[in-house]
Amino acid sequence: MILLACAASAAGYANAGTTAAAAPRQLDIAFEMLANGQPVRCGQPLASVGSDARRATLRDARFYVYDVALIGADGKRTPLALDINDWQNEQVALLDFEDASAGCSGGTPATNMVVSGTVPAGQYSGLAFTIGVPPALNHTSTELEGAPLDIAAMGWSWQAGRKFTKIEIDPEGGVTKADGSRAAAWYVHLGATGCTGNPVTGETVSCRRANRVPVVMERFDPAGERVVLDLDVLFEATQVSADRGGAVGCMSGPTDPECKGIFERLGLSVEEGTPLAAGRSPAFGTRPKP
């Protein structure tokens, strides 16, 4: 059992039996994106990416999370009450690893690698969250929403909603397409697909494939660990120097040949957009804080 460090002290977590009436405590959950065991950053080469082990550079790296909760010994989930700031509203947070420098494009100089909020003092042993945007917020205008849902670069359209995850790399030598032409970048754009309805005219939007990724970490200590999205795992079954059809890379198309390997590493069925195993996403894990 990990005594979750809700307080800002070195000890971290308070005993639920003695602090039942204590005020909620501030908690920061650190996130990181890794490749070859190193943090992914703009302008820093990725030494070996994909099944073809290509050198690459980062173009973009962002994803949304919601339903962030701490897990107690009894399995009960206690929601993290998110702070309201430029990266979070009451329901969703944006993790942003690009800083618009070097080869990165379409982003901003600011980055964010922390989800912050408050939680009742108590004993917790794990962490849960979902990659994506809640359905009620997904199909809204980036021009009318506040942060962090106001970013046009993370939008698809009124119907399709938002890119839940946007990871783009430029493999050395480019990407050879099925027709023999070449593209500069390999894209991972995860979002809901098969959507019908038009919110502009007041219609309710319904999507055939939700493509939201629930992640459960039964053991997690935010005082000493960070959540990591490992690009080595995400791309391990993917040849990033080539594309066999559909959109370049994987843009969540259920028949796109490049999506099967990516979706499996995220823990999703590419055909149905549902989890393959509840809470298990091979590409996500934990590492000790540096």
Q: What is the mean pLDDT of residues 208-215?
A: 97
Residue 88 has pLDDT above 70, yes or no: yes
Question: In Å, how far from its chain's centre is CA 93?
Answer: 10
- 6 within some domain: no
List, for residues 119-141, the tens digit of each pLDDT value: 999 999 999 999 999 999 999 99
- 4 within some domain: no
Residue 3 has pLDDT above 70, yes or no: no
- Quote the DSSP letter at residue 260: H
Residue type, 11: A
Number of domains in the chain: 1
List, for residues 25-67, the tens digit of each pLDDT value: 999 999 999 999 999 999 999 999 999 999 999 999 999 999 9
How would you label 61-81 residue by residue, b for 16+ Cβ within 10 Å and e otherwise?
Answer: bbbbbbbbbbbbeeeebeebe
Residue 18 has pLDDT above 60, yes or no: no
Share of the chain above pLDDT 70, in %: 92
What is the residue-wise DSSP string for 106-134?
A: SS-S--B-EEEEEE-SS---EEEEEES--
- Predicted pLDDT of residue 201: 83
- The number of residues making up the chain comes to 290
- Predicted pLDDT of residue 16: 39
Q: What is the mean pLDDT of residues 199-213?
A: 91
- 282 within some domain: yes
Residue 182 backbone dihedrals phi, psi, to 5 degrees: -125, 150
Share of the chain above pLDDT 90, in %: 86
- 198 within some domain: yes
- 265 within some domain: yes
pLDDT band for position 19 (50/70/90)?
very low
Which residues, other chains included, contact 76 with Cβ-Cβ below 8 Å and sequence gap of 6+?
Answer: none
Residue 115 has pLDDT above 90, yes or no: yes
List, for residues 140-197, the tens digit of each pLDDT value: 999 999 999 999 999 998 788 999 999 999 999 999 999 999 999 999 999 999 999 9
- Predicted pLDDT of residue 7: 37
Alpha-carbon dihedral angle through residues 135, 140, 146, 151, given to the nearest 10 degrees: 100
- 15 within some domain: no
Q: How many CA atoms lie within 13 A of 29 on its CB side?
A: 28
How far apart CA 275 and CA 57 sit, in angstroms, is 30
Q: What is the mean pLDDT of residues 254-265?
A: 97
Which residues, other chains included, contact 256 with Cβ-Cβ below 8 Å and sequence gap of 6+?
Answer: 245, 246, 247, 250, 270
- Predicted pLDDT of residue 6: 38
Domain coverage including residue 240: 25-288
pLDDT band for position 22 (50/70/90)?
low
Of 210, 212, 220, nearest to 128 (Cα)?
A: 220
Q: What is the mean pLDDT of residues 235-252?
A: 96
For the chain, the average pLDDT equals 91
- 97 within some domain: yes
- Predicted pLDDT of residue 17: 41
- 61 within some domain: yes
